[in-house]
Amino acid sequence: MSKNCEHNNDIKIGMRFSKCVVKAFDYRNENNKGKKTRKKVAICVCDCGEEFVAYLHRLRKGSTSSCGPCKKKLNGSLKVIDLTGRRFERLVVKEKAPSNSEGQARWLCVCDCGNEIETTGKLLRTKQTKSCGCLRTDNAKQKRNKLEGKQCGLLTVLKYLGKSNYLCRCQCGSDISKPSQGLVENTVSLDCGSPICQAESHFVGPILSLSDAVLNGLRHYSDGKRCRRGHNSSKLVSTMSCLICHREIGREYSKNNADKVREYDRAYKKSDQAKRRRNKQLKHRRESDLPYRYSESLRSRLSKVLGSIDVEKPRRSSRLQRLQDVILIVLRRQSLTLADINTGLYELDHILPLASFPWSKSMTANALVEMEANSPNNLQFITVEDHQAKTIKDGNKYGWYSNSKVYVDHSDTLIEDIKEGKALPSYLKGSEQKILIELLDAKSKH
C-alpha cells in the first residue's frame, strides 16, 4: 500500500493495493444485529482483469489484495507458516504438499505407526487430525469388552479377531467366530452350531467311546456310542442311529415326500392337541407381552366391525407388528410404561370411534381406513372410569342406543361422492378410482 493510502482514511479511485486498483465505489445494504445499514464498498480491478467488490477496511488492512481466483493460486504463500518437522499428537510434518481446491496449504505427515497422510495446517493446529486413523483404532481396542478366557455357554473365548469379533472354541473342539456384543448379551447361540452341541449342551468335551478317548490321549470326554455310520453320540434312537443320522434321515424324507409332510402338518394343525398347544402359547404371550395383547384387541375390534357389514378383513394393513409399534408410540407420547398399563387402571380407547369411519365393501378403502383409525393419533390410554363415560357420550352422539345397527356400510355414499367428484377424507385420496372399481364390482355381484 502507498504512503498516501496509509495516512489518508479516504480511499480514492485509481489507488493501487498490491495486485488490484480501485475502479469505482458502491453501497451495499447489510443487516447488522437486526439493524439495516448501508455500507460503502469499492469495486476493484485485479491485475488478471477480474472485477470484484472489496470492503474499504479490508483494503486499508491489506487483507484484500487480489480477486478470489488469484488468492487461491497464490495459496497465501506470503502468510503460510512453515510446519516442517513439528509434531502434532502422533503426526510429524515431513514436507509441504500441493494445496487443495480452496487454496489451503496441505502438509505431508508421517504417523508414528509408519503411515503417511496429507492434511491442512488448520486441522493439525486445532487437533482435529491427530493420527492416520490408528489412534481411533487403539482407543476402540481399549474400550472394547475384553473377553479373552471367558466362558460363554459351551464356548471359551480365545482371542480378539478385530471388528468386534472373537475367536471361540466350543467344548467339542471346534473353533468359531462370534460377535462380542452377542457374547455379552447372550443374543447368539453359545455353541459351535453342530447338532450334537445344540441338542446336548450339558456334555463337556467331545463325545467319544472309551477306546477312542484312550487312543487320542483325552482326559475329558463324554461317554458315547458309535452308530452304524460311524458317528459318536451320547445316545442312540430306536433305529440305532445317532442324532446326526436321525436328523439327516428326517431331512431326506421331508425332501423326497414334501406332499406327505405338508398333508401331515395340515392334519396336525387341525388336531385338538395342536389347538391346545397353540392356545396355551397364545395365553402365555397375552399375559407376558402387553403390546401383543392390545394389538390382538385392535384386530378383534376390526373383525367385529367388518363382520357386521359382511366384509372380509384386510390383512396387509392390520399386521400385528405394525399395531405393536403403534401401541409403543402411544405409550411414549403419554409418558406411560408397560408397568403402568399392567395395573389394570388404563384401557385402550379410540379417540374417534370406529363407527364414525366410512367402512365399505372395498378392501383398499377398508385397509386405508383401518390404518387411520388405528394410527397413533387416534389411540389413547385412559382410565376405566373415563372410558365408560366416553362410551356413553359417543353412544348418545352417534345414536348407538336408538339405532341397533352401530356399524353402517358406506359403499353407496362413497360411489356417489367419487362419481360427483366430491372430496374424500385425506387418507383415501389418491385411491379413488381403485376404490370405485372395487365397490362397483362388489355391487354387481350382489
Secondary structure in 3-state letters for 140-209: HHHHCCCCCCCEECCEEEEEEEECCEEEEEECCCCEEEEEHHHHHHCCCCCCCCCHHHHHCCCCCCCEEC
Q: Phi, psi (5° rounding) for residue 49? A: 100, -5
Bridge partners, 257 (sequence order):
none
Question: Higher-confidence residue: 222 or 210?
Answer: 210
The whole-number pLDDT of residue 350 equals 92
- Burial of residue 43 (CB within 10 Å: 0-12, 13-18, 19+) is middle
Q: Round to whole Å and give the CA distance between 282 and 286.
A: 6
Question: Higher-confidence residue: 241 or 324?
Answer: 324
Q: Round to whole Å and give the CA distance between 158 and 151.
A: 10
Is 60 exceeded by the pLDDT of residue 88?
yes
364: which residues sit within 8 A by CB, 6+ positions away? 431, 434, 435, 438
C-alpha cell, 423: 372430496
Per-residue pLDDT band for 4 (boundaries 50, 70, 90) equals very low
The whole-number pLDDT of residue 92 equals 92
- Tens digit of each residue's pLDDT (9 = 90 or more) over 273-301: 888 988 888 888 888 888 888 888 888 88
How many Cα atoms sit within 13 Å of 339 on the Cβ side? 0
Q: 3-class SS at 419?
A: helix
Q: Which of 32-41, 213-222, 409-418 has the lowest mean pLDDT?
A: 213-222
Q: Which of 108, 104, 30, 44 is nearest to 73 (CA)?
A: 104
Is 90 exceeded by the pLDDT of residue 379?
yes
Q: What are the C-alpha distances in Å from 217 to residues 177, 207, 297?
A: 27, 14, 62
Whether 302 and 318 have beta carbons less than 8 Å apart is answered as yes
Q: Which of 60-74, 124-138, 375-389 has the lowest mean pLDDT?
A: 60-74
Q: Round to whole Å and give the CA distance between 158 and 161.
A: 10
Residue range 187-197: mean pLDDT, rounded: 73
Strand order in the sheet with 151-152: 151-152, 155-162, 165-170, 175-179
Per-residue pLDDT band for 380 (boundaries 50, 70, 90) equals very high
Q: Round to whole Å and give the CA distance between 435 and 361.
A: 9
Q: Round to whole Å and give the CA distance between 435 and 440.
A: 9
Q: 3-class SS at 375?
A: coil
The whole-number pLDDT of residue 5 equals 40
Is 70 exceeded by the pLDDT of residue 322?
yes
